[in-house]
């Protein structure tokens, strides 16, 4: 099971944090700081896996963003790389050629996408199509509601 | 009223406007100002109970929270959003709950009610939000409250809800393992589903349950054929665009199933048998041009190693890892080394084949890979390859990062002690370590080296001259200085010797030697311990270099006023030896006797900190069973190795403090075998009784155990140099798997034997217990004898084989003998 996932920029700014276990706030802050420092210090020739405390850290860089996951000792690191890649593909399909700015300005949508792909630290859906379909349907629900309330405001609904 | 309000108060800033504003602030102070202003406005909005824009405000708050600012005042607002009927509100509300409201917050439990309502909502996406949140932040109480709802939803016919509910249950079970029971019935039929999401999550849940409870594992073991079928369909089914990743069909599901198979097959021969074919099939069919193929192969290797797989499959697995090692992708190399490290004990020979590749990895640019390669290299050293391996490892030691040096040194010294082909090589290697590793060497290595040099008497001259050479080049390395100082002190007179192998003899005067030691004492960088060694060495030299007493006396007395108490004390005491007790000086400073060997104490101390390295968490190697978790770095050879050793405590000689010595003997007996925790001692009889009644006390007669049968004739099992050991064996009638052996030892030589210790070892399937011997001395010319009773348990009715180890002292010499006994009569075990 994945313990947490962090997305951060090359300057060390946090763009997304998903915690699948409960930690106190200051532990989260400390962990985030430590890992960002550790990962940013890695040279390009080094492998994508780190050992940290009793967890394995798997990270991959996509353009200006680092995707960093912490998995347990028995988890498959190579598959985690695939999991990260699948998430990026989903974002890419959704935003149309995703870049860091998309994730900054639409961070809540990035979270929604993650929540359709992973749950409790495990992959819940392996079909790209199904994940995107679910997101699209929920976006539609939101839009319908927005239209509804706009119409209500003008007394037309 | 609302219209008025809307006119008088502007709408709160949009989320993206806030983000834009924050990003455009040039300094941290600017950013803080913007954030604080916005927080104030948000707080005011919350106070005014503004429903319309609550969603927007919370979203902004979440962004601010991600930047690192406090956002706890938004917690209650999240709850209000969750309670709203609008999907948009709930979506943000639940997101906020997951970010701000984990179980450590006070208001956490207040969302339980909303969760319960939403779990039963008619819109599946709202149910999904609730399930997602529950899976992310459930606490024990919440889990208990809502477990029933989740269980109901697992049985839903909607695959979308089903899979989420299953993972929710997974999270609940992790939090509250007691709740596992209620989910087992619903789980059983889940593998019949076609939907990949449901299958994946179901396998995940079953895995978690099986790992948590052995009973449940047993229950789910019958699913193995079904899992095999699902896996087979996955790989045979051909291209499915929906689940395809670079030509591999649903790798996530494949890996999950492989992992479950590993857990179900562990320790169970039948289940493992069922999996053999599919494992081989997937291994050969998987396309390895991309990372995803490697991910699957990696999981297969872990599974093969984790179950009771057949030998051919295990070799296949190690070969896959060998191929990984040659891959350009460093991630794959790393993973390979990691796994090889875990399996090296069980499949030693297979891993040996890849030794050259592993050693090449010592030069890899990535530090994690180098670290793994070094550990693995040490595990692969054996008498055949030790020279080559040491060369590589010494080269690595020279160039490696400081964090490695200390462990690497200790390991090299241990390995050299175990596998050195000859003493000269051993000493050379150890000296190289001393000169290369500087001050990174651990303290106990120094003692081990000193002990090694002192016991290798034939090489004393060589050792001390080499050490002198190295020391004169560089006095800054403390361990080297300490060892060298000790040796120079002990064997100073040999510095002039010319009998030192093929090397050029050292040309050095006594004064030079003293000057060198003086330099060490004066140098500020020498540690106190080193100086202590140096001053003691100087003292010893006073009896080796008889012409330099005056100078030595001068040097030593200088430290009588040293600020360091240790040095001062030594100096004063040594000085007084010169002045007041000069007559005792030569006797006091004679050569030290042979230091009792604890060659493996370094290993024991060292290995204690290395537990995770060689413990096979997955492997079911039967060799490691029953070893009480003691880690070793030695390969286990298979089948007929005797690893249970039982020894009697010889009453007078062996005290508790001598356990170390006993351990050495045992290790010697077993040679290159894995060593257990201290051997089983079966000696309830008090030793003191034996001391008093030595020779008179008869051992506990085995007659009450063996009834009826006529006493068979004794068989001689050892006869050498006057020592005759005979076995008289009888099979216990009431228990055919038990044999009782009476050992009798006699001494026909003209000299008495004392400190007689008899030890025996048997193959794994046997149990052996030795009772106390009748005594420990054998008078000459068969003036008496020693008897000892051996009880042997042979539950598997194997042919009896025994290895003997006999120690005794005669004429002041310690004699060690070993023998093997294979000639036990057939009637004893058939």
* pLDDT per position as a tens digit, A31-60: 999 999 999 999 888 889 988 999 999 999
Strand residues in A73-151 grouped as ranges (E)? 118-119, 122-123
Whether residues B95 and A45 touch (CB distance < 8 A) is answered with no
Q: How many residues does chain B have?
A: 830
Whether residues A127 and B197 touch (CB distance < 8 A) is answered with yes
Candidate from B131, B242, B299 with C-beta closest to A76: B299
Q: Which two tokens stand for residue B157?
A: 């016919």
- Buried (b) or exposed (e) across A92-104, using 16+ Cβ within 10 A? ebbbeebebebbb
Q: Are A126 and B250 in contact (CB under 8 A)?
A: yes
- pLDDT interval class at B680 (50, 70, 90): very low
What pLDDT, on a 0 to 100 scale, did the predictor assign at position B634? 37
When pLDDT is averaged across residues B78-90 and rounded to a whole number, the result is: 93
Q: Considering only CB atoms, which chain A residues are within 8 Å of B154? A: none
Q: Which residues touch B531 (CB under 8 Å, ≥6 apart)?
A: B520, B521, B564, B567
CA gyration radius, chain B: 37
Residues 239-278 of chain B with CB under 8 A from chain A are 242-243, 245, 250-253, 255, 259
Q: What is the DSSP letter of B624?
A: T
Closest CA of chain B from A10, distance in Å: 15
Taking Cα atoms as reference points, which of B402, B405, B407, B395 lies closest to residue B362?
B395
Candidate from B63, B102, B366 with C-beta closest to A45: B366
Q: Are B202 and B166 in contact (CB under 8 A)?
A: yes
Whether residues A138 and B87 touch (CB distance < 8 A) is answered with yes
What is d(CA B696, CA B756) in angstroms, rounded to the nearest whole number? 17
Whether residues B291 and A82 touch (CB distance < 8 A) is answered with yes
Q: What is the DSSP letter of B718?
A: E
Candidate from A46, A107, A138 with C-beta closest to B125: A138
Mutate to test the interface with A, among B60, B72, B99, B102 (most CBs of A within 10 A): B102
Q: Nearest residue on chain B to A147, judged by CA atoms?
A: B88
**Given CB atoms, is B56 within the 8 Å cutoff of chain A?**
no
* pLDDT per position as a tens digit, A112-157: 999 999 999 999 999 999 999 999 999 999 999 889 888 888 887 6
Closest CA of chain A from B47, distance in Å: 23
Q: Which two tokens stand for residue B11?
A: 């709408």
Residue A49, CA distances (Å) to A58, B403, B455 in order: 5, 19, 46
What does the longest C-alpha to C-alpha distance in chain A come to?
63
Closest CA of chain B from A69, distance in Å: 15
Q: Nearest residue on chain A to B126, judged by CA atoms?
A: A138
The reported pTM is 0.69
Q: Which residues touch A24 (CB under 8 Å, ≥6 apart)?
A: B104
Taking Cα atoms as reference points, which of B424, B451, B432 lies closest to residue B600?
B451
What is d(CA B179, CA B215) in angstroms, rounded to the nearest whole number? 15
Convert B287-332 into a string of H (helix), E (strand) and C (coil): CCCCHHHHHHHHHHHHHHHHCCCCHHHHHHHHHHHHHHHCCCCHHH
Mutate to test the interface with A, among B31, B142, B167, B234 (most CBs of A within 10 A): B167
Candidate from B167, B196, B330 with C-beta closest to A122: B167
CB pairs under 8 A between A and B: 156
Closest CA of chain A from B218, distance in Å: 21
When pLDDT is averaged across residues B480-485 and rounded to a whole number, the result is: 87
**Number of CB atoms found within 10 A of residue B331's CB:** 23
**Environment class of B757 (CB within 10 Å of its CB; exposed 0-12, middle 13-18, buried 19+):** buried
Q: Considering only CB atoms, which chain B residues are within 8 Å of A112? A: 91, 95
What is d(CA B632, CA B780) in angstroms, rounded to the nearest whole number? 43
What backbone torsions phi and psi does residue B645 show, to the nearest 5 degrees? -120, 130
What pLDDT, on a 0 to 100 scale, did the predictor assign at position B501? 64
Q: Considering only CB atoms, which chain B residues are within 8 Å of A51? A: 368
* pLDDT per position as a tens digit, B256-297: 999 999 999 998 999 999 999 999 999 998 888 899 999 999
- pLDDT interval class at B214 (50, 70, 90): very high
Q: Considering only CB atoms, which chain B residues are within 8 Å of A135? A: none
**Given CB atoms, is B65 within the 8 Å cutoff of chain A?**
no
Domains in chain B: ranges and CATH = 442-588 (1.25.10), 601-670 (no CATH), 702-828 (2.60.40.1230)
ipTM (interface pTM): 0.96
Whether residues B62 and A108 touch (CB distance < 8 A) is answered with yes
Q: Nearest residue on chain A to B103, judged by CA atoms?
A: A22
* pLDDT per position as a tens digit, A94-115: 999 999 999 999 999 999 999 9
When pLDDT is averaged across residues B592-601 and rounded to a whole number, the result is: 63
What pLDDT, on a 0 to 100 scale, did the predictor assign at position B827? 73
Whether residues B331 and A77 touch (CB distance < 8 A) is answered with yes
**Given CB atoms, is B131 within the 8 Å cutoff of chain A?**
yes
Q: What is the DSSP letter of B650?
A: -
* pLDDT per position as a tens digit, B173-213: 999 999 999 999 999 899 999 999 999 999 999 999 999 99
What pLDDT, on a 0 to 100 scale, did the predictor assign at position B63? 94
Mean pLDDT of chain B: 80
**Given CB atoms, is B212 within the 8 Å cutoff of chain A?**
no
When pLDDT is averaged across residues B446-467 and rounded to a whole number, the result is: 83
């Amino acid at each position: 099971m994945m313990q947490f996932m962090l997305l951060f920029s090359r300057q060390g700014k946090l763009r997304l944090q998903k915690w699948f276990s409960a930690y106190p706030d200051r532990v989260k802050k400390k962990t985030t700081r430590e890992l960002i420092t550790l990962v940013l210090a890695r040279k390009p020739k080094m492998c994508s896996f780190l050992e940290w405390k009793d967890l394995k850290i798997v990270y991959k860089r996509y353009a200006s963003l680092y995707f960093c996951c912490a998995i347990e000792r028995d988890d498959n690191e190579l598959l985690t790389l695939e999991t990260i890649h699948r998430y990026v593909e989903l974002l890419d399909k959704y935003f149309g050629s995703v870049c860091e700015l998309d994730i900054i300005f639409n961070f809540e949508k990035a979270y929604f996408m993650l929540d359709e792909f992973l749950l409790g630290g495990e992959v819940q859906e392996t079909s790209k199509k199904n994940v995107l379909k679910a997101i699209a349907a929920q976006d539609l629900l939101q839009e319908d509601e927005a239209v509804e309330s706009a119409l209500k405001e003008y007394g037309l609904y | 009223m609302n219209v008025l309000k809307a006119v008088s108060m502007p709408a709160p800033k949009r989320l993206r406007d806030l983000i834009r504003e924050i990003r455009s602030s040039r300094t941290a102070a600017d950013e803080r100002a913007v954030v604080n202003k916005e927080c104030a406005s948000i707080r005011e909005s919350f106070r005014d109970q503004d429903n319309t824009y609550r969603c927007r405000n919370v979203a902004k708050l979440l962004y601010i929270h991600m930047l690192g600012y406090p956002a706890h005042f938004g917690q209650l607002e999240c709850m209000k959003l969750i309670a709203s009927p609008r999907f948009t509100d709930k979506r943000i509300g639940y997101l906020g709950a997951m970010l701000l409201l984990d179980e450590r917050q006070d208001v956490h439990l207040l969302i339980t009610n909303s969760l319960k309502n939403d779990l039963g909502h008619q819109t599946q996406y709202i149910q999904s939000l609730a399930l997602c949140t529950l899976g992310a932040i459930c606490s024990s109480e919440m889990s208990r409250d809502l477990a029933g709802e989740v269980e109901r939803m697992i049985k839903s016919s909607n695959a979308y809800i089903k899979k989420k509910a299953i993972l929710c249950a997974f999270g609940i079970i992790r939090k509250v393992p007691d709740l596992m029971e209620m989910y087992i019935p619903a789980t059983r039929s889940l593998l019949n589903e076609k939907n990949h999401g449901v299958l994946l999550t179901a396998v995940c849940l079953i895995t978690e349950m099986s790992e948590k409870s052995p009973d449940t594992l047993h229950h789910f073991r019958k699913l193995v054929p079904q899992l095999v079928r699902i896996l087979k369909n996955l790989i045979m089914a051909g291209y499915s665009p929906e689940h395809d990743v670079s030509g591999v069909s649903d790798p996530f599901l494949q890996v999950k199933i492989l992992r479950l198979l590993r857990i179900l097959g562990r320790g169970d021969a039948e289940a493992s048998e069922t999996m053999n074919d599919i494992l081989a099939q997937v291994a050969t069919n998987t396309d390895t041009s991309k990372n995803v193929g490697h991910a699957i192969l990696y999981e297969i290797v872990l599974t093969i190693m984790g179950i009771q797989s057949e030998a051919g499959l295990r070799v296949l697995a190690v070969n896959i890892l060998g191929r990984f090692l040659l891959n350009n992708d460093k991630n794959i190399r790393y993973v390979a080394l990691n796994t090889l490290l875990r399996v090296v004990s069980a499949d030693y020979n297979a891993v040996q084949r890849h030794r050259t590749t592993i050693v090449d990895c010592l030069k890899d640019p990535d530090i994690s890979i180098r670290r793994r390669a070094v550990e693995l290299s040490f595990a692969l050293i054996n008498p055949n390859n030790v020279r080559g391996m040491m060369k590589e490892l010494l080269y690595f030691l020279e160039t490696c990062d400081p964090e490695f040096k200390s462990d690497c040194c200790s390991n090299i010294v241990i390995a050299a002690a175990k596998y050195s082909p000859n003493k000269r090589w051993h000493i050379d290697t150890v000296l190289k370590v001393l000169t290369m590793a500087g001050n990174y060497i651990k303290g106990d290595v120094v003692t081990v080296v000193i002990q090694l040099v002192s016991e290798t008497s034939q090489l004393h001259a060589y050792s001390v001259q080499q050490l002198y050479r190295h020391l004169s080049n560089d006095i800054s390395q403390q361990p080297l200085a300490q060892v060298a100082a000790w040796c120079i002190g002990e064997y100073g007179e040999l510095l002039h010797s010319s009998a030192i192998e093929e090397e050029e003899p050292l040309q050095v005067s006594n004064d030079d030697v003293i000057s060198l030691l003086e330099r060490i004492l004066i140098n500020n960088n020498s540690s106190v311990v080193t100086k202590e060694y140096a001053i003691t060495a100087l003292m010893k030299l006073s009896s080796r270099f008889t012409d330099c007493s005056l100078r030595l006396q001068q040097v030593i007395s200088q430290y009588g006023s040293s600020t360091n108490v240790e040095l001062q004390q030594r100096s004063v005491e040594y000085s007084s030896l010169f002045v007041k007790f000069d007559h005792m000086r030569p006797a006091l400073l004679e050569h030290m006797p042979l230091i009792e060997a604890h060659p493996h104490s370094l290993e024991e101390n060292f290995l204690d900190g290395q537990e995770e390295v060689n413990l096979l968490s997955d492997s079911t190697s039967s060799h490691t069973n029953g070893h009480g978790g003691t880690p070793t770095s030695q390969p286990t050879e298979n089948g007929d190795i005797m690893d249970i050793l039982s020894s009697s405590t010889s009453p007078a000689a062996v005290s508790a403090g001598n356990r170390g010595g006993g351990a050495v003997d045992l290790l010697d007996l077993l040679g290159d075998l894995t060593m257990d925790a201290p051997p089983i001692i079966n000696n309830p009889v008090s030793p003191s009784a034996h001391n008093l009644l030595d020779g008179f006390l008869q051992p506990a007669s085995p007659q009450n155990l063996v009834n009826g049968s006529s006493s068979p004739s004794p068989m001689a099992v050892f006869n050498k140099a006057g020592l005759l050991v005979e076995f008289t064996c009888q099979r216990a009638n009431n228990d055919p798997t038990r044999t009782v052996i009476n050992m009798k030892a006699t001494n026909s030589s003209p000299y008495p034997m004392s400190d007689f210790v008899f030890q025996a070892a048997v193959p794994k399937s046997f149990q052996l217990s030795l009772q106390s011997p009748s005594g420990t001395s054998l008078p000459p010319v068969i003036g008496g004898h020693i008897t000892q009773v051996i009880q042997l348990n042979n539950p598997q009715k194997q042919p009896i084989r025994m290895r003997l180890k006999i120690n005794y002292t005669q004429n002041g010499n310690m004699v060690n003998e070993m023998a093997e006994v294979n000639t036990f009569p057939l009637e004893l075990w058939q």
